[in-house]
Amino acid sequence: MPLSTQSEAGDERYVLVASLDNVRNLSNILKAITFKDHALFNATPNGLKVTVEDSKCLQANAFIQAEIFQEFTIQEDSVSFQVNLTVLLDCLTIFGGSTTPGVTTALRMCYNGYGYPLTLFLEEGGVVTVCKINTEEPEDPIDFEFCSTNVTNKVILQSDSLREAFSELDMTSEILQITMSPSQPYFRLSTFGNSGNAHYDYPKDSDMMELFQCTKTQTNRYKMSLLKPSTKALALSCKVSVRTDTRGFLSLQYLVRNDDGQICFVEYYCCPDEEVEEE
Amino acid sequence: MDCMVTGGHVKVLATAIHSLSRIGEDLYLQPQEDELALRTVNSSHSAYACFLFSPPFFQQYSSCKSPTFHCKMAIKCVQAVFRSLSSLEKMVERCRIQLNSEKSRLTFTLHCKHGLLKTHNLSIQDCESLQAVFNKESCANVLRAQPRLLVETVLHFPTSVEEVSVSVSSERVCFRNHVEEEAEQSKAVLTELSLSAKEFEQFTVGCPGRVTFCLKEMRGLLMFAESSGLPVSLHFDEPGRPVILSLTESVLEVNFVLATLSEDSHLCNHFNNSTECHQNPALLPDDFMNDDIDSYLIAMETSELASGGSGCPPTLPRKASMGQLRARASSEGEEEEEEEEEEMRRPPNEKFRSLFFGSMLPTSSQATNQTLRTQEVLASDSENEEEDSSF
């Protein structure tokens, strides 16, 4: 491991050092939340949380637990910085992001503290690239106050079934309407586009439905443009949990299995578009 | 209308929709007692496609109360119902199509694996019927082959190739990309494939020669043919007359009618030789010209009459029909001359003539004219309600 011997001497001055044998375990999950340039990184001894927001209505979080990293050393309780996510991803895939088995890019990510750039050492096949990305002033993320005690309805679906629906959604529809109900239609996705409307109904006893906990009929509309980025997470995931709270806020939690079979999470929060008149 | 499609037939229906979407923008639906017709026509009206499904195709089929009901809708909306052809076979168990004419709504309900139910409510528009009239039997040349042969032939032409020329002799057929005369021959890439008659299941050539038509629509048909594995028949005869691509099965009939290019090279040679044109002067009444009827259609009829309805013997003058008309127009110095000249100024790729003409319907009211009576309407697009009401 040429990387680990190279920079060991100076490790103490870094407030954060994280190493990965396979950079794809980080880059893939970051791709699932790439819809705006600025990403807030928050590292704690538990791992790394990356947050991206849009229009104060949508928030995406990726959680990469400390165990995913081969090395995860943090000198403080919490380290936060903001970087340009597109630039970071470009650097992480600087060797082309090859998917050839046996060929992986190793990463050592170091951060020196407030005011310092984020330093990446990337190595593939004996070639080392050092990238320094300027960090930005971290902004506080929005608190969506989505609390599990306020959850009205919750379903867990296998991602396959939802993936198909999302790939077919009528994108001429401005909104995606989600209906969750203890009675029919149980779980329904609806679009209202130029050509008419479309509904996707999932019965509660479907093989695809792993959990069905709906207490009250709820119909909420969400902006399609806001939800669209979540399809990237859906594409990576194997299961998805869909929850709505009393206010109609939507939480989508994706369980993502990485190349090494480890589990990470991606979470999307979205505000409802408008009140739907009760029928 | 209420019908149910199950199993592999869902994919057949979906492929038909995708195939039609290669041609036109609107899907014309006509549920009749004995068949469900899905049709489309391209924007320049030079290509028409029609799928006819007979009731046994469906697990359950009931047509409309009104036998003359027609409607149309944007084809891409229907395509969206069957977006992924590959997953369709695995996922969709049955598809129900219901028509609610009061609400102007067509509902597709897909019953999928794992109990997933997809419902698409599409808005429909009233329209007149779209029906091309053509006669495959009258074509002198018929080639029938397995779809694979034609798919592999077409594969050699890059997608940038818009038109293909098919020339037949008694032993061979040759596919060649059509290069416009204005284009610099030295720079153009020519691709030519010659197939032996042995490769075909049927190889009837009564009228050796060459026709040129658009590849795009043929690709659309081949997509369906390949998926269904049904042999494709090509019916054609002389340039300017349509080529008909068809597939037939017990529960399904597919016809694509494509306009062919009139041959200008022949025009030049015979422009001044108006003997042919005046062969049947009575067959070209002046009011016909005023009607802006597509000239090749007239010529098609004249040649058929000339040949006494005995098909298309090789002795028949096979010269481009448009030439005859132009020659006539210019020789008589009528006011249509301008119009005809305008046609000549058009770029060659616009010479695919319309298969439809709104002015065809009045012909029935002018039935006193013998020519008009014998005139076979290739296609009628009776959008004009006023004309329709004259029946």
Residue B343 contacts residue B325 (beta carbons within 8 Å)? no
Q: Evaluate if residue B312 carries a pLDDT over 60.
A: no
Cβ count within 10 A of residue A126: 6
Q: Does residue A209 lie within any of the structural domains? A: yes
Q: Does residue A10 lie within any of the structural domains? A: no
- pTM of this prediction? 0.75
Shared domain check, A258 and A187: yes
So what's the pLDDT on residue B126? Answer: 86
Query: Which of the listed residues A102, A136, A170 is the one where a domain comes to its end?
Result: A136
Shared domain check, A117 and A180: no
* Single-letter amino acid code for the residue at B151: V
Residues of chain A positioned with their CB less than 8 A from the CB of B90: none
B120 touching A (Cβ < 8 Å): yes
B122 touching A (Cβ < 8 Å): yes
A54 touching B (Cβ < 8 Å): no
Task: Give Cα separations from B316 to A69, B294, B306, B309 (angstroms).
Answer: 83, 21, 8, 12
Shared domain check, A159 and A132: no
B83 touching A (Cβ < 8 Å): yes
Give every CB contact of residue B155 below 8 A, 6+ residues apart in sequence.
none
Residues of chain A positioned with their CB less than 8 A from the CB of B118: 165, 168, 198-201
Q: Evaluate if residue B208 carries a pLDDT over 50.
A: yes
Shared domain check, A221 and A258: yes
- Identify the CATH number of the domain in which residue A91 sits: 3.70.10.10
Q: Does residue A277 lie within any of the structural domains? A: no
The pLDDT of B197-222, averaged and rounded, is 94
Shared domain check, A186 and A112: no
Inter-chain CB proximity B84 and A164 less than 8 Å? yes
* B364 vs A64: which has the higher pLDDT: A64
Give the Cα separation of A19 and A77 in Å (integer): 19
Task: Report helix, strand or coil for A216.
Answer: coil
Q: For B119, name the nearest residue in chain A, comparing CA atoms only.
A: A199
Q: Does residue A221 lie within any of the structural domains? A: yes
When divided into structural domains, chain A yields a total of 2
B133 touching A (Cβ < 8 Å): no
pLDDT tens digit at each of 279 positions of chain A: 444 433 444 556 899 999 999 999 999 999 999 999 999 999 999 999 999 999 899 999 999 999 999 999 999 999 999 999 999 999 999 998 777 777 889 999 999 999 999 999 999 989 999 999 999 999 999 999 999 999 999 999 999 989 988 988 888 999 999 999 999 999 999 999 988 899 999 999 999 999 999 999 999 999 999 999 999 999 999 999 999 999 999 999 999 999 889 999 999 999 999 765 554
B93 touching A (Cβ < 8 Å): no
Give Cα A187 distance to the centre of its chain: 23
Query: Which of the listed residues A73, A106, A136 is the one where a domain comes to its end?
Result: A136
> How far is the alpha carbon of B62 from chain A, nearest alpha carbon, in Å?
24
Shared domain check, A113 and A46: yes
Give every CB contact of residue B224 below 8 A, 6+ residues apart in sequence.
B15, B16, B18, B19, B247, B254
> How far is the alpha carbon of B120 from chain A, nearest alpha carbon, in Å?
4
Inter-chain CB proximity A195 and B87 less than 8 Å? no
Q: How confident is the model at residue B264 (pLDDT cuts 50, 70, 90)?
A: low
Lowest mean pLDDT among B38-42, B72-76, B188-192, B333-337: B333-337
A124 touching B (Cβ < 8 Å): no
Residue A201: which of B74, B76, B117 has the nearest Cβ? B117
Query: Which of the listed residues A136, A170, A203 is the one where a domain comes to its end?
Result: A136
Shared domain check, A74 and A111: yes
Residues of chain B positioned with their CB less than 8 A from the CB of A196: 77, 105, 120-123
Q: Does residue A146 lie within any of the structural domains? A: no
So what's the pLDDT on residue B133? Answer: 81
The pLDDT of B286-305, averaged and rounded, is 37
So what's the pLDDT on residue B352? Answer: 60
Give the Cα separation of A144 and A59 in Å (integer): 8
Shared domain check, A213 and A118: no
Residues of chain B positioned with their CB less than 8 A from the CB of A165: 116, 118
Inter-chain CB proximity A194 and B77 less than 8 Å? yes
Residues of chain A positioned with their CB less than 8 A from the CB of B73: 195
Peptide bond into B347 cis (omega under 30): no
Inter-chain CB proximity A200 and B123 less than 8 Å? no
Q: Which residue has the tokens 């090749």?
A: B296
Give the Cα separation of B118 and A167 in Å (integer): 13
> How far is the alpha carbon of B195 from chain A, nearest alpha carbon, in Å?
41
* A154 vs B130: which has the higher pLDDT: A154
Q: Does residue A278 lie within any of the structural domains? A: no
Tens digit of pLDDT for each residue in B80-111?
999 888 888 888 999 999 998 888 899 999 99
Q: Does residue A105 lie within any of the structural domains? A: yes
Instruction: Quote the domain boundaries for residue A46.
Output: 16-136
Q: Does residue A181 lie within any of the structural domains? A: yes
Shared domain check, A94 and A60: yes
A168 touching B (Cβ < 8 Å): yes
How many residues make up chain A in this entry?
Answer: 279
Shared domain check, A159 and A111: no
Cβ count within 10 A of residue B161: 18
Inter-chain CB proximity B116 and A207 less than 8 Å? no
Q: How many helices (H) does chain A have, and how many strands (E)? A: 6, 18
Inter-chain CB proximity A195 and B76 less than 8 Å? yes
Shared domain check, A219 and A128: no
Proportion of chain B in helix, strand, coil states, percent, rounded to 5? 35, 30, 35
Q: Evaluate if residue B330 carries a pLDDT over 70.
A: no
Shared domain check, A132 and A77: yes
Mutate to test the interface with A, among B114, B122, B123, B125 (most CBs of A within 10 A): B114
